[in-house]
Structure 1
Amino acid sequence: MLVLTWATPGRAADLAHELADLLRDHPQIRAESKGVDSSREGVNRTFSDYLPRVRVTGDIGPESVDNPTTRGRGPDPYRRLSSAGGISVTQNLFNGFATSSAMRSAELGVEIARLTLEGTQQQVLFEGIRAYLDVLRQQRLITLSRRNEQTIQRQLNLEDARVQRGSGIAVDVLQAKSRLQLARERRITFEGALADAVTRYTQVYGHAPDLAAMVDPQPPVAEIPPTLDAATDVALEENPSVSNAGSQTEAARERKRAVRSEYYPSLDLVGEANYEKDKDAVRGTRRDYSVLLKAEWDLFTGLSTRAGVAQATHDYLARKDREELVRRKVIEQVGLAWQALLTARDRLDLLDNAVNIATAVHDSRKKLREAGKETVINVLDAENEIFNAEINYTAAAYDERSAVYQLLLSMGRLTATRLDLPAPSDG
């Protein structure tokens, strides 16, 4: 029976520690995190519309006035150093709920940015897991290839020894050499695939893998529900794509509400205090104070508000349709991931048995060959069958691991908490 050891992570290069550092260091995650910070500042900026506006003005300088009034006082123009200052405080009382709508839109912007960050984190985690598993897969295939080469090389040596003793035939040696050549070609192919896997790993993690320290991860299978329906319900509740689509629909509704505010008047409470000295050819000091309720109402805007409301309504309805599409896509992803996991597990059981059968056949043919009752080509073919069965089993084993993480991603459960990731290492 072929056994692949799925060791518990225990070194700094294990998957959990790599993923913890990935969440901290990946540039796409850092960019989305800054987007969340930006959205929060947008809320603070929008909240300022609830607060009063305080404006201070002032001017000072020489003033020269020549008009009938100043000429009546004498032939020379009025010249004097004038100064003026003022302060106004404006508090909006009503603007058709535009401020509250803008505030709600800003809060939804934070929620959308947060959900986008969460979705990006899960997608990057899956990309990191897939890159890690691919490196392990190719390493395992290279190990199998080298073992296959060694087995064929031993058979080649046996056949060559038989020829030297006069009990063998040269064609058997040539057949063994041919199979050895094929085994070497296959190993080189796997080594090239490992180089590609290392390149992808380096792109994701920002550093090359420590091949000697990598260990096979143990997926959190306890997070997978017992049925497809249960997994679908979890996805519709927890997948950030679904929540993000819902928040964007709500944001479209708020934009519609914001446009409707243009139908209403705007009311402001304005307090002003002004000071003037020797201003506009008037000698002396002037002070005035006022507290006013100001109203503005656009009674006709060329039907622009009506068109804006209609546009916002269509945008809102389009967002609802997109939300439904996202829900369907998520349901599809869960179904595909669920079936991929079931298929991988079924194949794993069958391929484990295939390895056992191929091994038994090879052992029997090898004994017959030693007794002179079997050809070398059949022994080599039996060895190749073991190798092919082991390759298929290895691929299925890693496919099963990947399918678990793919299902967790589609459900929205591929998070640091559910993966039980440690704190990032210093770096």
Structure 2
Amino acid sequence: MQRTSFAVYFGMAICFASAPAGAASLVEELRLLVDTNPQVQAGHKNVLAATEGVDEAFGDYLPNLDLRADYGYGYNDLRARRTGQGQPGGQPTDAFEGSRESATLTLTQKLWDGGAREATYETAKLQRDAAGTSLEATRQQVMLEGIATYMNVLRQVRLLELSRQNEANIMTQLSLENERVERGSGIAVDVLQAKSRLQVAKERRVAVEGALKEAQARYMQIFGNAADVGSMARPRPPLDALPQSLDEAIEIAQRDNPAVESGAKQIAIANERRNVAEAGYYPRFDFELSGNYENDVDGVEGVRRDVTALLRANWNIFNGFATRAAVARTAFEHAAAQESQSHTRRRVTEQTRVAWEALDTARQRVALLQNAVNIAEEVYSARQRLREAGKDTALNVLDAENETFTARINYVSALFDAQIASYQVLAAMGKLSLEVIEAYGTTAGNEAAPVLAKQ
């Protein structure tokens, strides 16, 4: 499907003035939405938390410096003191009691722990990336919801305009029928038929007004402010951002959709966690540098100073098969992450296909409905001329007006459906962004003629 064919459904025969300065354009509203939406803000906080998690994991590469000190009272009645063994002159001495103090400063640098440190650090970085991907997915979904809400308000505004125009046309026809009756060239039943159609038109207008109020209420809930209909402007459709074919759209979605990216990150995280578990099979090596100061400690009078530099090795030989169970658990978690990713890819393909088919269907409907509107308008004009010449009935004129109104309503709905579907395709591909929307700007006037001329 070529981009030029997409241009058909975006040929808007709807007049929306361009947004004035300070207007509530879609880009402005979406920018405020993503800056204030609680879901997006929660995603931001998760990214910040995950970033701190990376710094936390990196701390395992740096040495630990520990200071342990004590001061207090001590009493020691050692046998060596009572017998004089090891005492000056070999004379027995009394038990030692009095104040004591000690301090130990230890620097420990982990050298190797079976790869657990490296795997933990990689896990933290992957979790940070996954949080960023999740934030992007949330941002795009919130934007898509905001776009649909914004466009629905504009849709209802246009439908209300058509409903009022339809009501005015029927009132005009009613006036004409009244004049004919007064002149003696008409019949009362035509007036009654016109009045009946007028009531139906009023009911339709009231229904559309209700739908507009609902759309505005939804707008308030999503954006947090009332819709300023007078300054809203319909965005131009992102024609060039759409791929040439469904296969291309699916290929892009499989590569760039945040859900797919997140699934890949989860597989990598599960793999690193398995590496952490397997590290339990290996010994741990640490370099330890320690300095010790003691004064009157453990019955030894005077000051004692020690300095040691050690290479320590610790190897857990048996822990109740906990390591084996941890390795098996993480292996199953890795397999589960792979299966989840397979499901995610299928779901993304489905979403892309559904959005694309909705877009294609709406495009075809617009092309057909545009012709239907043109034909209905010609029929209505012809019926009016025949009626004025006394060669047609009021019922036929009213029927033609109703067909014209219905065709216009369907046409407008299809136009908005098509444009919303285009954003759904972008979201399915993971390409929906403020930059894309802003690049196309807003409409100004009737675009039907120039767009149709491209075909």
User: Above 0.5 in TM-score?
Assistant: yes
User: CA contact under 8 A between 2:235 and 2:437: conserved in structure 1?
Assistant: no
- Deviations along 1:361-386, one digit per CA (max 9) or x if unpaired, are 11122222222232222211111111
178, 183, 204: which one pairs with 2:222? 204
CA distance in 2, matches of 1:420, 1:166: 61
**Alignment correspondent of 2:283:** 265
| Aligned-residue RMSD, C-alpha | 2.0
CA distance in 2, matches of 1:18, 1:179: 40
**Alignment correspondent of 2:449:** none
Where does the alignment leave 5 or more consecutive residues of structure 1 unmatched?
423-427
274, 279, 292: which one pairs with 2:310? 292
CA distance in 2, matches of 1:303, 1:76: 53
CA distance in 2, matches of 1:9, 1:161: 43
- 1:143 and 2:153 matched: no
User: CA contact under 8 A between 1:16 and 1:421: conserved in structure 2?
Assistant: no
Where does the alignment leave 5 or more consecutive residues of structure 2 unmatched?
1-10, 85-91, 441-455
1:76-225 map, 5 Å: 78-225=96-243
User: CA contact under 8 A between 1:65 and 1:281: conserved in structure 2?
Assistant: yes
Mark the CA change 1:285 to 1:271 in structure 2 (over 3 Å): closer, same or farther.
Answer: same
CA distance in 2, matches of 1:198, 1:252: 45
User: CA contact under 8 A between 1:225 and 1:231: conserved in structure 2?
Assistant: yes
Equivalent residue of 1:133, what SS?
helix
CA distance in 2, matches of 1:334, 1:411: 7
1:14-93 map, 5 Å: 14-66=25-77, 68=79, 78-93=96-111
Identical-pair percentage: 44
Mark the CA change 1:260 to 1:158 in structure 2 (over 3 Å): closer, same or farther.
Answer: same
Q: TM-score, normalised by structure 1?
A: 0.94
Larger deviation: 115-124 or 372-381?
A: 372-381
CA distance in 2, matches of 1:71, 1:187: 110
1:331-350 map, 5 Å: 331-350=349-368
Equivalent residue of 1:300, what SS?
coil
The letter of the residue matching 1:79 is E
The letter of the residue matching 2:183 is R
Equivalent residue of 2:436, what SS?
coil
User: CA contact under 8 A between 2:47 and 2:131: conserved in structure 1?
Assistant: yes
User: CA contact under 8 A between 1:23 and 1:121: conserved in structure 2?
Assistant: yes
**Alignment correspondent of 1:425:** none
Equivalent residue of 1:225, what SS?
coil
8, 14, 23: which one pairs with 1:4? 14
C-alpha displacement of 1:68:
4.9
- 1:282 and 2:292 matched: no
Larger deviation: 294-303 or 81-90?
A: 294-303
- Deviations along 1:303-357, one digit per CA (max 9) or x if unpaired, are 2211211111111111111111111221222222222111111111110110111
The letter of the residue matching 1:394 is V
- 1:362 and 2:372 matched: no
- 1:239 and 2:257 matched: yes
C-alpha displacement of 1:168:
2.6
Mark the CA change 1:321 to 1:6 in structure 2 (over 3 Å): closer, same or farther.
Answer: farther
328, 332, 343: which one pairs with 2:346? 328
Larger deviation: 160-169 or 224-233?
A: 160-169
CA distance in 2, matches of 1:418, 1:362: 41
Larger deviation: 63-72 or 196-205?
A: 63-72
Equivalent residue of 2:100, what SS?
strand
Mark the CA change 1:49 to 1:64 in structure 2 (over 3 Å): closer, same or farther.
Answer: same
Mark the CA change 1:235 to 1:215 in structure 2 (over 3 Å): closer, same or farther.
Answer: same
- Deviations along 1:231-259, one digit per CA (max 9) or x if unpaired, are 22211222111111111111111111111
CA distance in 2, matches of 1:28, 1:200: 17
